[in-house]
């Protein structure tokens, strides 16, 4: 019996996900070009996937576990269990407007055109604030939307803010603070749960050692 864990194939979470497994004492020969690999000293198989697909795969049981940003978990809104925050991949999902805008508060977002790759989270935020806006879903390069006249504001992931700055934008509201999390299928067998507990125990030890 092995657990199958899905991690990002390439991108911002890939290296830290591999690093975490290694710090847990799990030996894997990581080949970025491979679709999957097996741990040699722990009952774990590692699948390399696009982060957006990970919640769905975990829900369907194609993978038992996944490492993905909370932002993706909340956006995909799949019935999976979040078992552990992992302390890396930290970022914010924020609203930003042109630097020149005299922004006074969230009410200023009402009726604007907002470009985002996170329509589900944005819609919920707007509803909670009693606002309506025209959400333009785009899959990448959201930060250029105001400059080309596609939108008045954006809702996008920010870490340092330098991408916003370079595009003449400023962060005005934080909608969500996110980091990488370990998610699990919610129907694991007792045997699978036992392996997950072992993994969680090691992850917690690694986190403790860093504090």
**DSSP H helix total and E strand total for the chain:** 6, 11
Residue 89 binds which one of ligand ATP, Zn ion, none, with CB within 5 to 8 A depending on kind?
ligand ATP
Query: Given the complex with Zn ion, which of 51 and 64 has the nearer CB atom?
Result: 51
> Least distance from C-beta 167 to ligand ATP, angstroms?
13
How far apart are alpha carbons 82 and 101 in whole angstroms?
Answer: 38
Closest residue to ligand ATP, Cβ-based? 69
Residue from 159, 189, 194, 197 that binds ligand ATP (CB under 6 A)?
A: 159
Residue 178 binds which one of ligand ATP, Zn ion, none, with CB within 5 to 8 A depending on kind?
ligand ATP
> Least distance from C-beta 72 to Zn ion, angstroms?
7
Stretch that binds ligand ATP, among 31-39, 64-72, 76-84, 190-198 (CB under 6 A): 64-72
CB 18 within 8 Å of CB 28: yes
Residue from 16, 51, 59, 75 that binds Zn ion (CB under 5 A)?
A: 51
Residue from 16, 89, 108, 153 that binds ligand ATP (CB under 6 A)?
A: 89
Residue 146 binds which one of ligand ATP, Zn ion, none, with CB within 5 to 8 A depending on kind?
none
User: CA 7: distance to chain centroid?
Assistant: 11
How far apart are alpha carbons 151 and 95 in whole angstroms?
Answer: 12
Q: CB-based contacts of 13: which residues, under 8 Å, 6+ apart?
A: 7, 51, 67, 68, 69, 88, 89, 180
State the DSSP H helix or E strand holding residue 65, giving kind and residue range, or none if neither.
strand 65-69
Measure Cα distances from 179 to 40, 67, 76, 189 in Å.
Answer: 28, 10, 15, 27
Binding characters for ligand ATP, 115-144, by CB under 6 A (x = yes): ------------------------------
Question: What tokens does 46 get?
Answer: 């590692």
Residues near Zn ion, by CB under 5 A: 51-52
Residues near ligand ATP, by CB under 6 A: 8, 11-13, 50-52, 69, 71-72, 89, 91, 157, 159, 178
């Amino acid at each position: 019996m092995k657990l199958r864990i899905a991690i990002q194939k390439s991108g911002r979470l890939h290296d830290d996900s591999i690093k975490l497994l290694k710090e847990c004492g799990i030996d894997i020969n990581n080949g970025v070009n491979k679709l999957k690999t097996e741990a040699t000293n722990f009952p774990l198989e590692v699948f390399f996937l696009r982060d957006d697909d990970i919640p769905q795969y975990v829900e369907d049981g194609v993978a038992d576990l996944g490492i993905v940003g909370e932002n993706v978990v909340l956006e995909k809104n799949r019935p999976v269990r979040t078992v552990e925050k992992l302390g890396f991949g930290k970022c914010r999902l924020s609203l930003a407007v042109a630097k020149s805008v005299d922004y006074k508060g969230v009410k200023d977002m009402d009726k604007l055109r907002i470009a985002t790759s996170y329509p589900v989270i944005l819609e919920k935020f707007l509803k909670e604030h009693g606002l309506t806006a025209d959400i333009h879903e785009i899959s990448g390069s959201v930060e250029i939307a105001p400059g080309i006249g596609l939108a008045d504001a954006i809702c996008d992931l920010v870490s340092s803010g330098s991408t916003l700055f370079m595009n003449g934008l400023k962060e005005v509201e934080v909608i969500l603070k996110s980091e990488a999390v370990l998610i699990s299928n919610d129907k694991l067998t007792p045997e699978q749960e036992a392996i997950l507990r072992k993994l969680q125990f090691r992850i917690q030890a690694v986190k403790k050692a860093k504090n």
